[in-house]
Structure 1
Amino acid sequence: MITSYLNINSYFDYQLLEQSTKKSLTREEIIQLIPPSLAELELSKEKHIPIPEEVLNVYAQYRSTPLFRAVAFEQAIGTDCEIYIKDEGKTHSGNHKANSAYLIAYMCKRDGIKTITTETTGNWGTALAKAANHFGIEVLCFIDEESNRLRPDRVKIMEDAGAKTIVVPLDEEHQDLLTLSADAAITYTKTLSNSAYIFGSVYGYFVIPQTIIGLEAKEQLKQIDRYPDIVVGSCGGGANILGTASVFIADKLDGGKEVEIFSAEATSCPILTEGKWGHYSIDSQSYYPLIHTYGLDGLLNDGKYIGGLGSTIVAPAVSYFHSQNIIQAKTFTSEEAKQAASLFYQSEQKLVALETGYQLAGVIHKAKTNSNKVILVNISSGENDRKIYFS
């Protein structure tokens, strides 16, 4: 069992900024916006963050998640590369988001928070609902009308997990759907006491817990005398790729290890390949802290469902390491993602989430353009996306 997270934000100048002045926020200012325990994570410069015992006890129910070699998938691609799969579908939420959800819920509970509000398109809300229910906290999930239309099952899934849900109507003022839901959640939070709005992506408190994926994978690969040449992740808000790749980025920076970090992103949300440096927040109310990172003005919407890859801002660590040529990126279409997921299902008999389909499209690209490489990727369960492939 891994007992500490890796703080990838300690490897560069990570700051939270006040929205109007763009000045660095102090601890006292940050705790007015997010719970104190989460504020400490944002401010920490330590490379290793101990995992609280209460969270370890939950992790022990599903971690370490399995790592296996996808031999049949390799044969289906026609590659001599070795492809290793870290199966985050075995978490309580069926994806990597449980890793953050349990830490966040625990820390909110420790800080006396009674109600958490958040924006979601479904997966994050489900993970947080299960975690908050475990620690005895109420969760209100705000989901935009368009996401609810595309995936009408998500509200029921979140409610079955213990959340209360509110569908936010579309309006002419919001082009970004996550900002629409975030604004609604923040407005509602201001009417509550002992409550906190938590954005489910990009910030340190969300990214840092994800690093347990790569920390475990490194140890599991070590047992079979392997080390990845290429680490593949998908990029929406960046937690997926940072979860798997952070420990290998640290190895590269600390010890000069040769490893390629490759991010697959959706053509309608090219956050790394077309995003611009700027100061961004998820809301339009001058409320949540700004971060210095890449952003997009909006999705290049082709009407295709892209799962959880629709974030128009990305974790600062991703933009920083991309700007330093440590993370490479390429866009893939939704059709390529579905084809990759279908090939994986046919060969390995595992149904994966659409977000994972983009990662597998990236794996196929790297496997076909390289020889005799060790490739590492994580996957999420696709049971909730079954209708996308078989309807």
Structure 2
Amino acid sequence: MTLTLLSDDGRTTRVPLAEGATFAAPTEPLRTRVAYAAAHVVPLAWADNTPGRPAAIDWDATLDFRRSVYSWGLGVADAMDTAQRNMGLDAAATRELIIRSARVAREEGGSVVVGVNTDHVDDELITLAQVVDAYKEQLHVAEEHGAGPVLMASRHLARAAGGADDYRRVYREVLASATVPVVLHWLGPAFDPTLRGYFGSDDWRLAADVLVEVIEENREVVAGVKMSLLDADAEVSVRERLPDGVRMFTGDDFNYVGLIGGADAPDVPQPERDPRSSRTHSDALLGAFAAITPVASAAIRALDEGDPATYARLLGPTEALSRHIFAAPTYFYKTGVAFLAWLNGHQPAFQMVGGLHSARSLPHLSRIVELANEARALENPDLAAARWRDLLTLNGVDA
């Protein structure tokens, strides 16, 4: 069987369809890495999920996807940017997603963390005190329902802050009210241009100083930090400065193979690190892992078994796929994640809340198909090929 691929100039070519990978679901927890897949949401295909409308979610498909992630031994990071926070997922839907996802985690015995932000506040400009109150409101919802909080970067704070001291003040006050361990999230401007200069500087080194100060001041409640700057050197630099007991969760969808493998995978290209440091690798909290969950699970289990060659062989090819999904404009990466979920049978239609499924071109999607085929990320290749063929035909392409 073959796949029809579509180039930027409209020409079609055919390539062989790879056989499906025969990964077995794990029978015990992953040991050497903590890994979360940042999950997307599935809309009701027949509902009015057009731009600006409240999200109408297919809860069965959305929650079944999370159950699938748990079956592969990964945790779920929910209600974060992959779930279209600030890009179609409104405040009411976000709150309901957190409640429902936390319930599924309890049922499945899985680990769930959820985004805590200020985005339920409609006004664009609010005071620092109001930023603190908004953060606390969402923080307590996560705590109430037993989900681990991920303190996301706030657009409100980015607008209101006059400098680094304002970030220190807000994080200090919010973290003082936390009753469970919290993960901080540093989201770079490639994902959200509004967040340029977060932590008080456009220079990541100066911003990192503020982040590390916040963590050191609140080390009893900060469990980790998720770095999403798409800069592996910056991540390693911050990772080596973290206090004992604080994890670095890579959010680098361009360079995760080397960052996660670390010293346990010496043949995998990775940033230079201080060999004297006890920080030998990053854990994972990645939108990419929602697109390649079975492959990611098998690769980390290879590390568990002391087999870095298999880790590199499995996970290495997925990085080209991820780099394409997260290509500029990076904030449209959610379209690629949902597209692969549809190809892999996790949702009935290629639809997204806010109409975001239209954010990438057919040739862009074709390249996702090609790279997913090469990386063995098509869970059911025959289904994926049939669905892709139907989408091409629908758009007037002879498949």
Q: TM-score, normalised to structure 2's length?
A: 0.28
Q: Quick check: which has more Rg, 1 or 2?
A: 2
Which structure has greater helix proportion? 2
Q: TM-score, normalised to structure 1's length?
A: 0.28
Which structure has greater strand proportion? 1
